[in-house]
Structure 1
Amino acid sequence: MTRPVLSVLAGALALLLAAGSLDAQARARAIGLAPGVFTPGRHNAITDVPGVRVGHATIAEGDSLRTGVTAIVPHGGDLFRDRVPAALHVGNGFGKLLGVTQLRELGEIETPIVLTCTLCIWQAGDALAQWMLARPENANVRSINPVVGETNDGGLNTTRARPGIAAAVARALAVADSGPVAEGSVGAGHGTIMFGWKGGMGTASRRLPASLGGHTIGVLVQGNYGGVLQMAGVPIGQLLGRYAFQRNVAPGAGGGRPPGDAGAERGDGSCMIVIATDAPLLARNLERLGARAIMGLARTGSSASNGSGDYVLAFSSSPRVRRNPDATVSTNDELGNEAMSALFQAVTEATEEALYNALLMATPVSTRATTVRPLPRDSVQVLLRARGVGR
């Protein structure tokens, strides 16, 4: 970006800030951020994929507990005996992911997917296993592989305390629904931070035209990472004076962060991305799909720093490819490789938009020590409009 353009943008922003802020929650499309060429589904959410349900349970207690649980249920049937093909793609592996070895070995999952805080995954895994074992159809089951992902919300949450996680897992599963999905500072995103602003949960979807198969891709994200924020190519983080490595390249600027926040200064953090699709895919092509979600993450300004755990879980809910553990022969009607390109485009678009939604739908969260505020939406709109983007 040239210096004259930067000057125009900075001037427009200064006028806005002088006039005061009217920030409010808004999904990306409400301010004209609509990445890509494909159309969203009805809810523009992961729940646009038939059968997929999402539930949140938020933990906000006292002056320091700010965490939660989010559950993704792949379909409404017997998850243990009607397993969905699944795969994992790791962008950067600085994190914890429960159940990963069996997932990779068998290419399937047999439980809902749960997201929570870093030190909560073991309690969440036990609670998810107990939930599965308590179901009448699983009375004789002797092994469960719960899949639980995490990001570290320790900037806002007293993460070592870990209270109420088992109950939160049960609540999230109980309220899981197929309609619109709450976003922002809810569930597993209650205590998360993105680019120095409040982060959270976000979701988006894309539906391919009939000529490309008519399949739906849905993405859910738990955003808790850093870098140099950009939206539709506009360097929002730089223009708002908050971005990774700022103290190195602009030593006098300060970066808008408290002293000693070295992890944020390096762009550290994590992002969990869950992809659902009704396209009939097995593990190999689901892993390829997950790799493209990282491209959507990169479009927002992440470089997957050393201290970032960036994981993508992808599954197909299509009945055509489900697995019965007792079957001796598996016959599947899977899409061919040539059909994948449109799905790659769709998941890249949906991931980028889901991450924007996580930022734009977040609300302030306070603890005894600090308050983390969301990205100033009206300032972002001014900066986008100056580049001919948005409304």
Structure 2
Amino acid sequence: MSDKIALERRYGATNYAPLPIVLSRGEGPWLWDDEGRKYLDMLSAYSAVSFGYGHPKILKAFTDQAARLAVTSRAFHSDTLPPFLAKLCEVTGMDRALPMTTGAEGVETAIKCARKWAYVSKKVPRDTAEIIVCDGNFHGRTSTIVGFSSEPQYRDDFGPYATQGFKHVPFGDATALAAAITPNTAAFLVEPVQGEAGIVVPPEGYLKECERICRERNVLLIVDEVQTGLGRTGKVLAIHHEGVKPDGLILGKALGGGLMPVSAFLAREDVMGVFKPGDHGSTFGGNALGAAVGLASLNVLLDENLAERSATLGDYLLKKLKAVQSPVVTDVRGKGLLIGVELDPRKVSARRFVETLLKHGVLSKDTHGTVARFAPPLIVERADLDWAVDRIRDALREYGPVYEKAA
């Protein structure tokens, strides 16, 4: 065992079970361990490194701004926050943005805003507002959020939970959403693709129908695009695949360019307008350094056409992976460069498989014990993906015969 791994196990909390690798350097889509071995990153820190490691434009924005001004608190204005907010609203089509740090903070912000909107604008009786969420959701790990998780491990032994304000419906079932709405419903909170649940893609037209239902019933549609946003699924936002315009939008991960924790809750004018000075805030949310990095990240996304690149390369990777036939693979699914390979748990666990991939130079991560996810940085080259598929094929051969599906 590496001395560094042993040291982390000795002094670190045990809330993670990392793969047995110590990373020391990254460049583009590639990572190197502390012994100089090279790996292709097919995880992108769950989309936080969507633009690759050390992107020169984002890195320059980071270093230039860090040398000039980093954190002053929102008690004062900075010269980097206004252009960041303007660009964020321009790119997303939303009216206003509230910057935070982590994705979970963005979700918590959305929850507070939706509840206050329900009481102030919709006139829901105080302390009775409900938010509808989906089975299999993952919106973070704060105490409020785990309270409405349907994953036992996220909930067990962390109660009491704030369950009275949340209601569950099946993901992908718009009819169930319509049936669950009551006069006290404030919002429907949904991921366009469920990442932690195993890269679950809903039926085509689902989000558009949810939008229609929410408009008809005066319910806020709040979309969590922390993992799917900013090019990951082949559009700037995953909701753009269906032309959906939400009332609230949560972004994070990629917004920080792989360098900073930057997130935001965005909403239409009247929804965000329920917040007054003192209602909400974050010590580091909207800091000058984070704003500069966020603006640079948005510019890179647009200037380098990374959403379009994700669509093209995602289709290519999905076809390549579907062509690899193995008795341990039961399904391959995804959208853009967000792809899940479902494995037969009777033959190999997803954890064991990603450990095998590690030996072959590919970094991935398992979810739900049955799915290996593949979500490389959007700047990855086609040749890199070819190399990765060859390594995935080699790894699968360790569990049975592999052949190519005829075209």
Task: Give the TM-score taking structure 2 as reference length.
Answer: 0.26
Higher strand share: 1
Which one has more relative contact order, counting CA pairs under 8 Å at least 6 apart? 1
Task: Give the TM-score taking structure 1 as reference length.
Answer: 0.27
Higher helix share: 2
